[in-house]
Structure 1
Amino acid sequence: MKHRILMSLLFISSALVSCQDKKAESNKNVTTITESLAVPQFNQDVNTMLKKQLEYGKPSFDNPYQYSDKDLEVTTPILNQLLLDNGYKAISNEEFNNKIKQIFNRIIDKNSISKFLYINFIDKCDKELNFFPNDAENNGIFVVKNQNFITDLYPLPTIIDYQKAYGEAAQEENLASKNYKDANGNEVKKYLWKDTPYLKEQRKKNIQTLIARNLYLFNDNKAQYKWLTLNDSYFMNALVKTFGYTQDIDLLKWVIERTKFDKKDPSDYGKLFWVKQCDGTVRIHANTFKILQGIYTPDITNDMSNENRFLIDYIKGYIEYFADFNNKETGISREDKVKILANIVYFAEQYKYDKRFVSGYGDNSKMMGRLRFFLDQEEVNILQENNYFNLPKFKEWWDNADYDAYIADGEYNGEWGNVNRPLSPDEWRKQHHKK
């Protein structure tokens, strides 16, 4: 009995140690980051800037403090060291510049004297430097040239434990007034950094975000991918939907599978398929179609637990929105519009001819027929003049869809009902020859 008890205790002890080891392993990055933040080295430039930032408190609509390139310049050595301490391997200028072009479609001008490039996540074509910490109305990142990393504009209190390393500045903050007078002489409340709830947790999240983004994008560290999708989804979505970065197949698949067609925001679904670039051209995402083909397989239509079975319905909803004659996509030419529609419809129409699917020729989506219904003659001419954009079977499927266009016409014009039913394909064909 004693032997059994002893063996049980040893087993429990071993299990506890194993669990602790696994937990420690999963928190390895967290521990590293926390230790590197504990007591940063004193720096006079940091001290001077920190006092200014502490004096005015947290940025807000009423906050008079104007952040500038000086605020960012002071933080970059700290951020660079944090990256290096946590495994970031600096890449060459050429490789970094190529990555920035590939991911964000921005070119780093070697002749520019500016130390930073601003990438605006709200208006990607706005290249003006925006020195204000991100909030609900402002979101962007800075490319730090020559040091070759990206970062948000972080106020110093959000990346360093200033109360430990900068005691004098912290003491001045303790004595600071919580009010100030604005330009009109009105007394306004200000929010001191020391009173910020969860500031320690915010620092940790900021540093983890900095490290994960740079390791993932510039060191191809896939271990950071899961953390980013769980904790930095806005950034990861924007890479695909705002900037058109589709080279990372895992990321693109993740974005595709969590994007549904929503009538309240129909244009969002189109971001999976194309992006308008800042030079006015349109780029279609070939990789999206490859992933969709892998997702929408014969077994999916009967899998009631898989939301991807609605893929064709989502595409139908987007086509109806985008092809609407009254719909004007800002800056998109009619030729671009037709090209986008042709590529999306071409992808969806293949399933009409794929006998592995239950629907087969009875497919109700009638994508090509809908396209024939929506396009006006000028747009049909664009399609033909561009040789159907060199999509191999497009003309054949277009010609075959004349009856589907007839069905779509009646559907959209509300003609079909219990009394007025459409002609059968054979009946309709007797009256109409293929064109």
Structure 2
Amino acid sequence: MKTNKIFFTCLLLLIASSCKNKTKQNFPTTNQVTYANNMPITLLEEIKKHLKDQERIESDELSFENPYHLTARDLELSSMIIFEGLKSSGFRSITDEVFNQKIKELFCIDNLKNQYYKIHVKDKYITLFGRQNDDYKSLIKDEFEDFAYTQNYYLLRKEHLFFEFVPLKYLIKINKDNTYKINIEPYIIHRNKYLFNNDKASLAWLFNNEQFILSKLLIDYGYDKEPKINKMVLDSVYKENTKFPEFIASLFFIKNKDCKLQIRKSLLKYVEGNTSATDNRFIYALGSFMYTLYDGDAKDPSYKIFEEDPSKKFTEVEKAEIVANIANIENPAIEKYKSLASSDVWNNAGSSLYNLSVSHPEVIKIIEQHNYFGLPKMKEIIAKLHEEAPPIGADLE
């Protein structure tokens, strides 16, 4: 079984590949706009210089005696050009306040800090590092290297944009008379219109043409507020792991960069709202994960499900908190949907919490000691456990 990071990387690549194969005949390859003199001549001259400099960027095919290395200024110039082109494509500029609210919701960046993944905050931009396993010094050193190597994305704090680095030659052509043509790829337009303008038509475009970036919002950045994205990712992960359904818990319960538990509450709420008498896939998958938390992953390396054994990855208190959050949606769903008519779907004899409480009664004590982790249903759920079938081996007299 592949490890978490390898699997999710492959999933993103698979989604990216499928999107590239979709027809885009209803959309232009680029959005081209010709301008006369919107930009100051000094800025145009600077762009010309950087266009020339960027001709000396090295690649696997090209090398130079004096190669040019991209800088923050190259990023800023790209941002200015992209912003100019986006305005002609219906993008509405937003305030700093709205931008900060958006990046908090979409990228978990609050007060320019992120506790879940490595970023680099500067006055004009925020780098969202792609190679999260690299040490921070290396990430800073390679911050503006080729996207194919770094997988870095950037949030531009003045123009309020999101994009990976795009060389200037793909964005602008300047004529001898200083008129110029800006070319913006549709994916840049629709990403930014969805992220910062909440444009539903752009969301639909992304679903049809670029599911990769939508999946990345949830898997890498933790954005779990859009039900359509939640459904797409959960369905994909479950479909690829039907033999190991508990793997899906990797989306819900993760460790942040400080090794503290992060629970994606909105994703749990999505599962709660989309479970029915005929569909309990995700509920049962999460229930299976409860047992893995305490029994551990497979001992045979070839059958391991998780990158790191959950029984060792999480502390006893964190395990209990995970169990409580799963039981908080599983047990009410059992009461609501389990019946003779649905017994072919809801076929487990007891709840996962009940079964776990028999083999690991300490989990109930930890949940109670921590005031049910702020989950209002849990007190009643625990009180009702005695109503379930008695444990195996109990005296039935």
| Equivalent position to 2:369, from 364, 385, 392 | 385
Is 1:217 the counterpart of 2:195 in the alignment? Answer: yes
- For 1:381, what is the secondary structure of its paired residue? helix
Task: Output the CA distance in 2 between the equivalents of 1:382 and 1:58.
Answer: 56
Query: Which amino acid counterpart does residue 396 of structure 1 have in structure 2?
Result: A
Query: Which amino acid counterpart does residue 166 of structure 2 have in structure 1?
Result: Y
Task: Output the CA distance in 1 between the equivalents of 2:316 and 2:200.
Answer: 40
Is 1:246 the counterpart of 2:228 in the alignment? Answer: no
Query: Which amino acid counterpart does residue 117 of structure 1 have in structure 2?
Result: I
Superposed CA RMSD: 4.0
- For 2:232, what is the secondary structure of its paired residue? helix
- Segments of 5+ residues of structure 1 without an aligned counterpart are 1-24, 168-202, 302-308, 407-422
Structure having the larger proportion of residues in helix? 1
Task: Output the CA distance in 2 between the equivalents of 1:271 and 1:328.
Answer: 10
| Equivalent position to 2:209, from 215, 224, 231 | 231
Is 1:333 the counterpart of 2:320 in the alignment? Answer: no
Query: Which position in structure 2 is the counterpart of 1:399?
Result: 386
Asked whether the equivalents of residues 225 and 266 of structure 2 are also in contact (C-alpha less than 8 Å), the reply is yes
Query: Which position in structure 2 is the counterpart of 1:30?
Result: 28
Where in structure 2 are the equivalents of 1:106-255 lying within 5 Å?
106-107=109-110, 109=112, 114-123=123-132, 129=140, 130-135=143-148, 137-160=149-172, 162=173, 165=175, 207-255=185-233
Task: Output the CA distance in 2 between the equivalents of 1:119 and 1:365.
Answer: 44
Task: Output the CA distance in 1 between the equivalents of 2:294 and 2:62.
Answer: 41
Task: Output the CA distance in 2 between the equivalents of 1:284 and 1:57.
Answer: 42
Task: Output the CA distance in 2 between the equivalents of 1:51 and 1:216.
Answer: 33
Is 1:311 the counterpart of 2:282 in the alignment? Answer: yes
Q: How many residues align?
A: 335
Query: Which position in structure 1 is the counterpart of 2:12?
Result: none
Task: Output the CA distance in 1 between the equivalents of 2:49 and 2:246.
Answer: 47
Where in structure 2 are the equivalents of 1:274-423 lying within 5 Å?
274-278=253-257, 281-298=260-277, 300=278, 310-325=281-296, 327-328=309-310, 332-354=314-336, 355-356=338-339, 358-359=342-343, 363-364=348-349, 366-372=351-357, 375=360, 377=362, 379-389=363-373, 390=375, 391-401=378-388, 403=390, 406=392
Q: 1:321 to 1:45 in 2, by over 3 A?
A: farther
Q: 1:148 to 1:311 in 2, by over 3 A?
A: closer
Shift of 1:297: 1.5
Q: 1:51 to 1:342 in 2, by over 3 A?
A: same
TM-score (ref. length: structure 1): 0.64
TM-score (ref. length: structure 2): 0.69
Task: Output the CA distance in 1 between the equivalents of 2:33 and 2:244.
Answer: 43
Identity of aligned residues (%): 20
Residue by residue, what CA displacement relative to the aligned partner does 1:2-56 show, whole Å, maximum 9, x if unpaired? xxxxxxxxxxxxxxxxxxxxxxx983x627x433279998932222222222233
Q: 1:387 to 1:116 in 2, by over 3 A?
A: closer
Is 1:81 the counterpart of 2:68 in the alignment? Answer: no
Query: Which amino acid counterpart does residue 386 of structure 1 have in structure 2?
Result: H
Asked whether the equivalents of residues 163 and 188 of structure 2 are also in contact (C-alpha less than 8 Å), the reply is yes
Shift of 1:89: 0.8
Task: Output the CA distance in 2 between the equivalents of 1:284 and 1:146.
Answer: 32
Task: Output the CA distance in 2 between the equivalents of 1:165 and 1:289.
Answer: 54
Asked whether the equivalents of residues 292 and 311 of structure 2 are also in contact (C-alpha less than 8 Å), the reply is no
Shift of 1:235: 1.9
Task: Output the CA distance in 2 between the equivalents of 1:132 and 1:39.
Answer: 32
Task: Output the CA distance in 2 between the equivalents of 1:259 and 1:61.
Answer: 39
- For 1:259, what is the secondary structure of its paired residue? helix
Instruction: Compare CA radii of gyration and give the structure with the larger one.
Output: 1
Asked whether the equivalents of residues 122 and 138 of structure 1 are also in contact (C-alpha less than 8 Å), the reply is yes
Greater relative contact order (Cα 8 A, min sep 6): structure 1 or 2? 2
- For 2:223, what is the secondary structure of its paired residue? coil
Shift of 1:151: 1.6
Q: 1:268 to 1:30 in 2, by over 3 A?
A: farther
- For 1:243, what is the secondary structure of its paired residue? coil
Asked whether the equivalents of residues 47 and 166 of structure 1 are also in contact (C-alpha less than 8 Å), the reply is no
Query: Which amino acid counterpart does residue 273 of structure 1 have in structure 2?
Result: F
- For 2:33, what is the secondary structure of its paired residue? helix
Shift of 1:79: 0.9
- For 1:36, what is the secondary structure of its paired residue? strand
Asked whether the equivalents of residues 80 and 159 of structure 2 are also in contact (C-alpha less than 8 Å), the reply is no
Q: 1:315 to 1:166 in 2, by over 3 A?
A: farther
